[in-house]
Amino acid sequence: MTFDLREMEVFRRVMELGSITAAAAALNISQPAVTRMLQKAETRLGFALFVRERRRLRPTAEAQIMFPGTLGAFAAIELVQRMAGELREGRTGILAIAAIPSLAASILPTAIRRFREKRPESAITLQTFSAHEIIQRIASHRDDLGFIIGPVGNETLAVHDLQTTGLACVMPAGHPLANRRSVGPEALADHPLICPGRHLVLSEQLARAFAERNIPFRIAVEVSHTHAACALVRAGAGIALMDGFGLLGARADDLVSRPFRPSLLSTARLLTARLRPVSRLAQDFIDALGSDAGTDNRPERNGHLRARVR
């Protein structure tokens, strides 16, 4: 026997999020309920799905084999649900976009406006996720287009570079470092730093840049959103280090930014499923990305746009 659809959803969430606690929160059910459903599924399947090692769950080999098929099943269900919604609401198309927060707030709004001007009868769903989640969603055909920063590492996806920006140091206008043309690790050594998550590529690049100059890299406040970083700067909590996309999305006109040296670049990337043809709806949106700020940054031309730094 196999597990039912609800148990399959529980299994998928635990696999994606790595813990029963996170899966229960995502599904809005209790942790004991998640545990019970997994146990029932394991009983009917006749093998274990997870083993606990040092207070953490580890998927078994059988679970790893089953997981891609589970993603495919839910992708098919979601596709049917989207099609039914289009028929019910009389729309000619719904474009599903997944993006990291900084890109959702910077390069996508103008493109969405242009797309809607050309296709007013179409609708867009724009959701924000981590880069890892977006890679999984595009690979499983749960969304049409994905926008991330950083490496991809999935051969089932087509990756197109869009725009590149440099790292900036954001501070109040009256800050002592605001008079510099650029700021490096030496100048930042005695200042509290507000940085993105330690697991992100940008923080790893910063750690290497500081290490090469034999300067300790200490994060005073770790944040996941640029608006929070700018609010912390305004409150005097430190200097924020963010890529140009975050700076564009934050619209921090009351703050100043200076380029970080050595230069650390971040590239916005568009993801599509390699084995799934790009729809005309998705292609129209890709075309809408291309004329931003007078720069042809369509994927096929690999154009680059450097964000303005005050």
- What kind of fold does domain 72-162+267-301 have according to CATH? D-Maltodextrin-Binding Protein; domain 2 (3.40.190)
- Please tell me the distance from the alpha carbon of residue 287 to that of residue 290, in angstroms, as a whole number: 5
Q: pLDDT, tens digit, for every residue of 126-153?
A: 999 989 999 999 999 999 999 999 889 8
- Predicted local confidence at residue 300, as pLDDT: 33
Whether this prediction's pTM lies above 0.75 is answered by no
Give span(s): CATH 1.10.10.10, the chain: 5-69
Q: Quick check: 228 pLDDT over 70?
A: yes
In the CATH hierarchy, which top-level class contains the domain 5-69? mainly alpha
Residue 17: pLDDT band (50, 70, 90) is confident
Q: CB under 8 Å to 18, separation ≥6 — which residues?
A: 56, 57
Token digits for 122?
């179409």
Q: What is the pLDDT of residue 305?
A: 26
Q: Which residue, chain included where needed, has tokens 């008079």?
A: 179
* Omega prior to 262 cis, within 30 of 0: yes
What are the residue ranges of CATH 3.40.190.290 in the chain? 163-266
Domain with CATH 3.40.190.10 in the chain: 72-162+267-301
Quickly state the pLDDT bin for 118 (edges 50, 70, 90): confident
- CB-based contact 165:266 (threshold 8 Å): yes
How far is C-alpha 244 from the geometric centre of its chain's CA atoms? 15
**Averaged pLDDT for residues 225-236:** 88
* pLDDT for the residue 134: 95
Q: What is the pLDDT of residues 178-214, one digit of tens each?
A: 999 999 999 999 999 999 877 777 888 899 999 999 9
| Residue (of 108, 178, 175, 184) closest to 146 by Cα position | 108
Spatial contact of 103 and 148, defined as CB atoms under 8 Å apart: yes
pLDDT at 88: 57
Query: Residue 90's pLDDT is what?
Result: 41
The per-residue pLDDT for 196 is 82
Query: For residue 291, is pLDDT > 90?
Result: no
Closest CA to 2 of 35, 46, 62: 46
> What is the pLDDT at residue 92?
59
Q: What does the pLDDT read at residue 245?
A: 85
Question: From 2.102.10.10, 3.40.50.970, 3.40.50.1950, 3.40.190.290, which CATH number describes the 163-266 domain?
Answer: 3.40.190.290
Q: If phi over 0 gives left and psi between -120 and 50 gives alpha, with beta otherwise, what is residue 109?
A: alpha
Average pLDDT, the chain: 84
- The whole-number average pLDDT for the span 59-71 is 88
Please say if the pLDDT value at position 125 is more than 90: yes
